[in-house]
A and B are shown apart, each in its own frame.
Chain A
């Protein structure tokens, strides 16, 4: 087992920390947000665990990734829908979510099901999430209703999403070029993706820890 394998295991299992935090400690989070976040983290956790147990073929890997993207995407839009209080912002989340769903289904039908690399739905999801995060930050900044931003769970979730999707979208956009590259480039990009996952879970955990005494 070399250090990269260790890194992969850490990345795959890093979801356990926020999941445990949600289940055991944080009772102050709104039930809907807690439920959707828990589902999202669990769904994100499953593919990594499966890959540790069952060695995937390329075809199965694509299938798992595509199905994961579709389901996780729905939960991501669900999470953002809870962050916004205005009706028009909620509608905007619905529209983006619907766009993502239609595109995913369209590519699944036209690109021989889920067994091939469907990067476009993932790019749409990443762009939508980045847009929603920035839109959320803007609305928070305009209202100035939150006194302590760092004790507000949606801020941490948004930051985690922005860093995660902001870093992985770049490599999805240029997947074709990177796929034909040297070994070191693959390892490098892979490490960045693993780091993004770990950072995502760390940020969510910090958010849960910071909000343990405040309602959100």
Chain B
């Protein structure tokens, strides 16, 4: 009787062992697969971070170079052109009025004025001096004031001191400029409202307008088919800001939203 119980126990245990072995192999496969997925995720995250760092350093280098060129144009080429203009004025005074030479000098002066204006404009485009001097809020306000749109409005709940990072301000401003340029170029509205606010540790830049507008899907299609430097640069800046752009529209109005973590640049 005891022997029979032992045999039964052996047979039962043996069968259980086979079953457990099969389960163990299945378990191993599942665990292994999860581990691989986890590793792939880590790998992707590392690559993404590296790409972000690279993009950031490219944009930073680009900004530094722009700043240098702008400074050179403003501080070196600008004064030289002004000196040239002064010399021309002196030269004009030294010759008789209403002569052919005086007329030529006057034409050169007009031409030189245009060059000085262009150099100033290029210098301003390269580095928004206004932004560096007066900050993001006043720069946006100033830009909106100059827009050829009859009904325009800007509001914010941010004070300039809350935005400490120069890079964040510069990137938000450049994204804003690109969005506005595209808006005016492709879909000019008659009414525009811009909101800049901090909500739940996020900086939100919202542009509401009465143009046709686009949706997120339409923007993706547009972005994929576009080779424009401005759009690519804007997307790179949004990535650097760790932010997201949202496009929406309805019958009467449309909206563009840039949402970026507050002070993310310093923490990343």
Contact = CB atoms under 8 A, between A and B. Distances in A.
A162 interface: yes
A167 B14 contact: yes
A17 interface: no
Q: Most chain-A CB neighbours within 10 Å: which of B4, B11, B15? A: B11
Contact of A147 (B8, B29, B36): B36
Contacts, number: 60
Contacts of B33: 149
A53 interface: no
Contact of A163 (B11, B18, B31, B39): B18
B25 A141 contact: no
A181 B6 CA distance: 10
Interface stretch (A19-27, A74-82, A92-100, A169-177): A169-177
A194 B204 CA distance: 70
A144 B13 CA distance: 33
Interface string B32-57: 11011001000000000000000000
B36 A166 contact: no
| Secondary structure type dominating chain A contacts | helix
Contacts of B31: 141
A159 B18 CA distance: 12
Nearest to A155: B29
A195 to B, nearest CB: 8
Contact of A180 (B3, B13, B28): B3
Interface in A140-185: 140-141, 144, 147, 149-150, 159, 162-163, 166-167, 170-171, 174, 177-178, 180-182, 185
Interface residues of B, number: 23
Nearest to B8: A185
A144 B39 contact: yes
B113 to A, nearest CB: 67
A167 B18 contact: yes
B7, B17, B32 interface centre (most CB from chain A within 10 Å) = B7
Contact of A177 (B6, B13, B28, B39): B6
Interface of A: 137, 140-141, 144, 147, 149-150, 159, 162-163, 166-167, 170-171, 174, 177-178, 180-182, 185, 188-189, 192, 196
Contact of A170 (B4, B7, B13): B13
B21 A166 contact: yes
Contacts of B3: 177, 180-181
Contact of A162 (B6, B8, B25): B25
Given A149-B32, A177-B6, 9 more contacts: A141-B31, A147-B36, A162-B21, A163-B18, A163-B21, A167-B21, A177-B3, A177-B7, A181-B7
Nearest to B39: A144
A161 to B, nearest CB: 11
Q: Which of B15, B22, B25, B35 has the most CB of A within 10 A?
A: B25
A140 B25 CA distance: 13
B110 to A, nearest CB: 70
B10 A163 contact: no
30 contacts: A141-B31, A141-B32, A141-B35, A144-B32, A144-B35, A144-B36, A149-B29, A149-B32, A150-B29, A159-B25, A162-B25, A163-B18, A163-B25, A166-B17, A166-B21, A167-B14, A167-B18, A167-B21, A171-B10, A174-B10, A177-B3, A177-B7, A177-B10, A178-B11, A181-B4, A182-B7, A185-B7, A189-B14, A192-B15, A196-B18
B13 to A, nearest CB: 7
Given A141-B35, A144-B39, A150-B29, A163 B7 contact: no
A144 B31 CA distance: 11
A140 B11 CA distance: 32
Contact of A192 (B14, B32, B35, B39): B14
A141 B31 CA distance: 9
